[in-house]
Homo-oligomer: A and B are copies of this chain.
């Protein structure tokens, strides 16, 4: 594992990041929040904004799935998604809601460059992103899917959406190995 050049918590916090902010709205399961931290650590994401009733650290169940990533990833708690979106927008982030709507754009058509800052919004496991929050987004992104449920676990969807940005960013900014 030494060959992987793992970073210490302090080194990971200081490491160069991709311009991605994750906004989690009313995520019911603290395990999903922990998994989001782990994904954010692995993909060197700028920050996680935890909003509404989403659990935030210190939290036993987050720790159990984040495995320490809640210390290496920058996070902030906001009372609601609207405030978090306002904050991200004023810092130059494009607000993209990951939600299946009639207006959604397919995830793979995004192709962001490292100059494009992106805030990805994810909603509750059952009810999705609140409709008033959707109205605040610049666009909706959809992961093409079928099957019986038409529904990925939120932590899986988050991993896929972040990877889609990262796979595009690393063509110009290869900070991962």
Report A's interface with B, CB cutoff 8 A.
1, 3-9, 11-12, 15, 31, 35, 38-44, 65, 67-69, 71-73, 100, 102, 107-108, 143-153, 155-160, 163-164, 166-167, 170, 175-177
Whether A146 and B68, one on each chain, are in contact in the complex, defined by CB atoms closer than 8 angstroms, is no
CB distance from A163 to the nearest CB of B (A): 5
Whether B153 and A39, one on each chain, are in contact in the complex, defined by CB atoms closer than 8 angstroms, is yes
Report, nearest first, the 7 A-B pairs whose CB atoms are least far apart.
A41-B147, A156-B159, A12-B148, A42-B145, A144-B176, A72-B148, A4-B150
Name 13 A/B residue pairs within 8 A (Cβ), A-sorted. Answer: A3-B102, A4-B100, A9-B148, A12-B146, A41-B148, A42-B147, A42-B149, A42-B151, A42-B152, A69-B148, A108-B167, A144-B170, A146-B175
Closest chain B residue to A35, Cβ basis? B153
Number of copies: 2
Bound-state CA distance A92–B55 (Å) is 46
A108 CB contacts on chain B under 8 angstroms? 167, 170
Bound-state CA distance A83–B101 (Å) is 43
Whether A149 and B39, one on each chain, are in contact in the complex, defined by CB atoms closer than 8 angstroms, is no
Whether A166 and B152, one on each chain, are in contact in the complex, defined by CB atoms closer than 8 angstroms, is no
CB distance from A53 to the nearest CB of B (A): 21
